Amino acid sequence: MLEVDNVTKEYPTPAEPLEVLRGVSLTLDRGQSLAIVGPSGSGKSTLLAILGALDRPTSGKVQLGTVNPFQLDDGKLAEFRRDRVGFVFQDHHLLPQLSVLENVLVPLLADGKPAADDVQRAETLLSRVGLADRVTHRPAELSGGERQRVAIARALIRSPALLLADEPTGNLDSTTADAISRLLVELQREHNSILVVVTHSQSLADAMQQQKRIEDGQLL
Ligand SMILES: Nc1ncnc2c1ncn2[C@@H]1O[C@H](COP(=O)(O)OP(=O)(O)OP(=O)(O)O)[C@@H](O)[C@H]1O
Protein backbone atom coordinates (compact mmCIF):
# COMPACT_ATOMS: atom_id res chain seq x y z
CA MET A 1 0.00 0.00 0.00
CA LEU A 2 1.11 3.55 -0.77
CA GLU A 3 0.15 6.12 1.83
CA VAL A 4 0.76 9.82 1.35
CA ASP A 5 -0.19 11.96 4.32
CA ASN A 6 -0.34 15.74 4.26
CA VAL A 7 2.72 16.19 2.08
CA THR A 8 3.97 19.72 1.46
CA LYS A 9 6.83 20.98 -0.66
CA GLU A 10 8.23 24.47 -0.49
CA TYR A 11 11.09 26.06 -2.37
CA PRO A 12 12.88 29.02 -0.82
CA THR A 13 12.68 32.29 -2.76
CA PRO A 14 14.01 35.76 -1.86
CA ALA A 15 10.47 36.73 -0.84
CA GLU A 16 8.25 34.14 0.87
CA PRO A 17 8.71 30.39 0.20
CA LEU A 18 7.05 29.04 -2.94
CA GLU A 19 4.48 26.46 -1.85
CA VAL A 20 4.36 23.86 -4.63
CA LEU A 21 2.48 21.10 -2.76
CA ARG A 22 0.00 22.08 -0.07
CA GLY A 23 -1.15 19.14 2.04
CA VAL A 24 -1.43 16.28 -0.43
CA SER A 25 -2.87 13.00 0.91
CA LEU A 26 -3.77 9.81 -0.92
CA THR A 27 -3.86 6.05 -0.40
CA LEU A 28 -3.49 3.37 -3.06
CA ASP A 29 -3.50 -0.42 -2.70
CA ARG A 30 -1.44 -2.90 -4.69
CA GLY A 31 -2.89 -3.29 -8.17
CA GLN A 32 -4.54 0.15 -8.26
CA SER A 33 -3.88 2.84 -10.85
CA LEU A 34 -4.27 6.61 -10.55
CA ALA A 35 -3.93 9.46 -13.02
CA ILE A 36 -3.07 12.89 -11.67
CA VAL A 37 -4.11 15.61 -14.08
CA GLY A 38 -3.84 19.36 -13.78
CA PRO A 39 -2.48 22.50 -15.35
CA SER A 40 1.15 23.19 -16.04
CA GLY A 41 2.98 24.20 -12.87
CA SER A 42 0.35 22.70 -10.53
CA GLY A 43 2.90 20.39 -8.87
CA LYS A 44 2.39 17.08 -10.72
CA SER A 45 6.04 16.28 -11.42
CA THR A 46 7.05 17.46 -7.96
CA LEU A 47 4.54 15.07 -6.38
CA LEU A 48 5.67 12.18 -8.56
CA ALA A 49 9.32 12.80 -7.65
CA ILE A 50 8.38 12.69 -3.95
CA LEU A 51 6.35 9.48 -4.39
CA GLY A 52 9.42 7.89 -6.00
CA ALA A 53 11.72 9.25 -3.27
CA LEU A 54 13.71 11.25 -5.84
CA ASP A 55 12.89 14.40 -3.90
CA ARG A 56 12.10 15.01 -0.21
CA PRO A 57 8.89 16.61 1.01
CA THR A 58 9.15 19.68 3.23
CA SER A 59 6.69 18.03 5.63
CA GLY A 60 4.27 15.12 5.70
CA LYS A 61 4.71 11.39 5.29
CA VAL A 62 5.10 8.92 2.44
CA GLN A 63 4.97 5.21 3.17
CA LEU A 64 5.22 2.28 0.77
CA GLY A 65 4.29 -0.95 2.54
CA THR A 66 6.01 -0.62 5.90
CA VAL A 67 8.78 1.69 4.72
CA ASN A 68 8.98 5.47 4.98
CA PRO A 69 11.79 6.12 2.48
CA PHE A 70 12.66 9.51 3.95
CA GLN A 71 13.70 7.86 7.21
CA LEU A 72 16.33 5.77 5.40
CA ASP A 73 20.00 6.68 5.12
CA ASP A 74 21.25 7.60 1.64
CA GLY A 75 22.45 4.08 0.79
CA LYS A 76 19.18 2.44 1.81
CA LEU A 77 17.23 5.20 0.06
CA ALA A 78 19.01 4.43 -3.22
CA GLU A 79 18.22 0.74 -2.70
CA PHE A 80 14.58 1.56 -2.02
CA ARG A 81 14.33 3.53 -5.26
CA ARG A 82 16.02 0.81 -7.26
CA ASP A 83 14.13 -2.16 -5.77
CA ARG A 84 10.67 -0.79 -5.08
CA VAL A 85 10.04 1.90 -7.67
CA GLY A 86 9.97 1.84 -11.48
CA PHE A 87 10.02 5.11 -13.42
CA VAL A 88 8.86 5.87 -16.95
CA PHE A 89 9.54 9.42 -18.13
CA GLN A 90 8.32 11.43 -21.11
CA ASP A 91 11.79 11.19 -22.57
CA HIS A 92 12.71 7.51 -22.39
CA HIS A 93 16.13 8.09 -20.67
CA LEU A 94 17.61 5.02 -22.36
CA LEU A 95 21.39 4.78 -22.60
CA PRO A 96 22.29 5.28 -26.28
CA GLN A 97 25.40 3.11 -26.32
CA LEU A 98 23.62 0.04 -24.88
CA SER A 99 21.39 -2.43 -26.70
CA VAL A 100 17.69 -2.74 -25.92
CA LEU A 101 18.36 -5.86 -23.84
CA GLU A 102 21.21 -4.20 -21.92
CA ASN A 103 19.05 -1.14 -21.21
CA VAL A 104 16.39 -3.35 -19.61
CA LEU A 105 19.09 -4.99 -17.48
CA VAL A 106 20.54 -1.68 -16.22
CA PRO A 107 18.53 -1.64 -12.94
CA LEU A 108 20.05 -5.04 -12.07
CA LEU A 109 23.69 -4.01 -12.62
CA ALA A 110 24.05 -2.75 -9.04
CA ASP A 111 23.87 -6.44 -8.00
CA GLY A 112 26.78 -7.32 -10.31
CA LYS A 113 26.67 -9.07 -13.65
CA PRO A 114 23.12 -10.17 -14.50
CA ALA A 115 22.57 -13.92 -14.11
CA ALA A 116 21.17 -16.09 -16.90
CA ASP A 117 17.69 -16.00 -15.39
CA ASP A 118 17.83 -12.17 -15.24
CA VAL A 119 18.61 -12.09 -18.95
CA GLN A 120 15.76 -14.50 -19.57
CA ARG A 121 13.40 -12.32 -17.56
CA ALA A 122 14.46 -9.25 -19.56
CA GLU A 123 13.88 -11.17 -22.81
CA THR A 124 10.46 -12.30 -21.60
CA LEU A 125 9.54 -8.71 -20.72
CA LEU A 126 10.76 -7.49 -24.10
CA SER A 127 8.60 -10.11 -25.81
CA ARG A 128 5.71 -9.01 -23.65
CA VAL A 129 6.10 -5.41 -24.85
CA GLY A 130 6.34 -6.61 -28.45
CA LEU A 131 10.07 -6.17 -29.01
CA ALA A 132 11.35 -9.77 -29.15
CA ASP A 133 12.99 -9.03 -32.50
CA ARG A 134 14.62 -5.76 -31.40
CA VAL A 135 16.79 -6.91 -28.47
CA THR A 136 20.11 -6.09 -30.15
CA HIS A 137 18.99 -2.71 -31.51
CA ARG A 138 20.32 0.54 -30.04
CA PRO A 139 17.73 3.11 -28.88
CA ALA A 140 18.51 5.33 -31.91
CA GLU A 141 17.38 2.47 -34.16
CA LEU A 142 13.90 2.36 -32.61
CA SER A 143 10.73 4.39 -33.09
CA GLY A 144 9.52 6.64 -30.26
CA GLY A 145 6.83 4.14 -29.26
CA GLU A 146 9.35 1.30 -29.27
CA ARG A 147 11.70 3.30 -27.05
CA GLN A 148 8.87 3.82 -24.55
CA ARG A 149 8.18 0.06 -24.64
CA VAL A 150 11.83 -0.53 -23.68
CA ALA A 151 11.53 2.07 -20.90
CA ILE A 152 8.44 0.25 -19.57
CA ALA A 153 10.24 -3.11 -19.64
CA ARG A 154 13.20 -1.55 -17.80
CA ALA A 155 10.89 -0.03 -15.18
CA LEU A 156 9.37 -3.47 -14.51
CA ILE A 157 12.51 -5.62 -14.44
CA ARG A 158 12.47 -5.67 -10.62
CA SER A 159 8.70 -6.01 -10.52
CA PRO A 160 8.42 -2.84 -8.41
CA ALA A 161 5.62 -2.26 -5.93
CA LEU A 162 5.26 1.26 -7.34
CA LEU A 163 5.33 2.20 -11.01
CA LEU A 164 5.48 5.95 -11.72
CA ALA A 165 5.06 7.54 -15.12
CA ASP A 166 5.53 11.23 -15.90
CA GLU A 167 3.77 12.11 -19.17
CA PRO A 168 4.81 8.76 -20.70
CA THR A 169 2.92 9.32 -23.94
CA GLY A 170 3.78 13.01 -24.26
CA ASN A 171 6.07 12.58 -27.27
CA LEU A 172 3.93 10.05 -29.16
CA ASP A 173 1.22 10.31 -31.80
CA SER A 174 -2.27 9.46 -30.57
CA THR A 175 -2.41 5.88 -31.94
CA THR A 176 0.98 5.00 -30.45
CA ALA A 177 0.05 6.81 -27.23
CA ASP A 178 -3.10 4.69 -26.86
CA ALA A 179 -1.12 1.49 -27.39
CA ILE A 180 1.44 2.56 -24.76
CA SER A 181 -1.35 3.53 -22.31
CA ARG A 182 -2.94 0.08 -22.67
CA LEU A 183 0.40 -1.66 -22.29
CA LEU A 184 1.26 0.27 -19.12
CA VAL A 185 -2.02 -0.70 -17.49
CA GLU A 186 -1.85 -4.34 -18.60
CA LEU A 187 1.67 -4.76 -17.26
CA GLN A 188 0.90 -2.92 -14.04
CA ARG A 189 -1.94 -5.39 -13.45
CA GLU A 190 0.20 -8.40 -14.32
CA HIS A 191 2.84 -7.26 -11.81
CA ASN A 192 0.23 -6.15 -9.26
CA SER A 193 2.05 -2.83 -8.97
CA ILE A 194 0.58 0.49 -7.92
CA LEU A 195 0.65 2.79 -10.97
CA VAL A 196 0.60 6.59 -10.72
CA VAL A 197 0.78 8.62 -13.93
CA VAL A 198 0.85 12.38 -14.27
CA THR A 199 -0.39 13.63 -17.57
CA HIS A 200 -2.14 16.27 -19.62
CA SER A 201 -3.60 13.50 -21.80
CA GLN A 202 -7.24 12.74 -21.05
CA SER A 203 -7.08 9.44 -22.95
CA LEU A 204 -4.14 8.25 -20.84
CA ALA A 205 -5.95 9.40 -17.69
CA ASP A 206 -9.08 7.51 -18.80
CA ALA A 207 -7.05 4.28 -18.96
CA MET A 208 -6.47 4.48 -15.16
CA GLN A 209 -8.89 3.21 -12.51
CA GLN A 210 -8.96 6.56 -10.72
CA GLN A 211 -8.31 10.16 -11.64
CA LYS A 212 -7.52 13.07 -9.37
CA ARG A 213 -7.01 16.68 -10.29
CA ILE A 214 -4.27 18.81 -8.82
CA GLU A 215 -4.55 22.58 -8.80
CA ASP A 216 -2.12 24.96 -7.20
CA GLY A 217 -0.49 22.17 -5.20
CA GLN A 218 -3.72 20.69 -3.83
CA LEU A 219 -5.39 17.43 -4.83
CA LEU A 220 -9.06 18.04 -5.48
N1 LIG B 1 13.76 22.96 -7.95
C2 LIG B 1 12.82 23.91 -7.95
N3 LIG B 1 13.04 25.12 -7.39
C4 LIG B 1 12.10 26.07 -7.38
N5 LIG B 1 10.87 25.93 -7.92
C6 LIG B 1 10.58 24.76 -8.49
C7 LIG B 1 11.53 23.68 -8.56
N8 LIG B 1 10.94 22.62 -9.19
C9 LIG B 1 9.70 23.04 -9.52
N10 LIG B 1 9.48 24.30 -9.11
C11 LIG B 1 8.23 25.06 -9.28
O12 LIG B 1 7.18 24.26 -8.76
C13 LIG B 1 5.99 24.40 -9.53
C14 LIG B 1 5.45 23.03 -9.90
O15 LIG B 1 6.33 22.40 -10.83
P16 LIG B 1 6.00 20.94 -11.42
O17 LIG B 1 7.13 20.60 -12.34
O18 LIG B 1 5.72 20.01 -10.32
O19 LIG B 1 4.67 21.25 -12.24
P20 LIG B 1 3.85 20.30 -13.22
O21 LIG B 1 2.44 20.29 -12.75
O22 LIG B 1 4.52 18.97 -13.35
O23 LIG B 1 3.95 21.11 -14.58
P24 LIG B 1 4.03 20.61 -16.11
O25 LIG B 1 2.68 20.04 -16.42
O26 LIG B 1 4.30 21.89 -16.86
O27 LIG B 1 5.15 19.63 -16.21
C28 LIG B 1 6.36 25.27 -10.72
O29 LIG B 1 5.85 26.55 -10.50
C30 LIG B 1 7.86 25.28 -10.72
O31 LIG B 1 8.36 26.50 -11.21
CATH number assigned to the domain comprising residue 71: 3.40.50.300
Task: Supply the pLDDT for residue 118.
Answer: 93
| Pocket lining: 18 vs ligand 1, CB cutoff 6 Å | yes
Count of domains for the chain: 1
Q: What is the pTM of this model?
A: 0.94
Flag residues of the chain having pLDDT under 70: none
DSSP letter assigned to residue 70: G
The residue range of the domain holding 64 is 2-219
DSSP letter assigned to residue 54: S
User: Residue 42 CA: which ligand 1 atom is closest?
Assistant: 21
- pLDDT tens digit sequence for 90-119: 888 999 999 999 999 999 987 888 889 999
| Pocket lining: 50 vs ligand 1, CB cutoff 6 Å | no
Task: Supply the pLDDT for residue 37.
Answer: 96
User: Residue 217 CA: which ligand 1 atom is closest?
Assistant: 14
C-alpha distances out from residue 139 to 97, 118, 131, 146, 158, Å: 8, 20, 12, 9, 21
Distance CA 26, CA 29 (A): 10
